[in-house]
Structure 1
């Protein structure tokens, strides 16, 4: 998932700060959701 951020960055820097901010927010929310589901899977495995 982190690898896909690379190609996106040049396009984002060319755009205004608003899309960049929303992109960062989107990625942060997506990562949080991803880690949350991963943690849930791990706890399920250990129990």
Structure 2
């Protein structure tokens, strides 16, 4: 009972901030880098 309680409570708070914080900055950098590359190709042509 003591091993299951701390184990289940630890992954919940640690997993919530990790996955939520990683997709936010990774998603903002992916679309930003892909957007400037597309307009740069047609503009140089």
| Fold shared by both chains (TM-score > 0.5) | yes
Higher-RCO chain (CA-CA 8 Å, sequence separation at least 6): 1
Unaligned runs of 5+ in 1: 1-14
Q: Which has the larger radius of gyration?
A: 2
Q: TM-score, normalised by structure 2?
A: 0.55
Runs of 4+ in 1 over 4 A off after TM superposition: none
- 1:17 & 1:41 partners in 2: Cα distance? 38
Instruction: Provide the aligned length of Structure 1 versus Structure 2.
Output: 34
RMSD: 2.0
The C-alpha deviation readout for 1:4-37, integer Å capped at 9, x for no partner, is xxxxxxxxxxx21343223111111001100000
- 1:17 & 1:32 partners in 2: Cα distance? 24
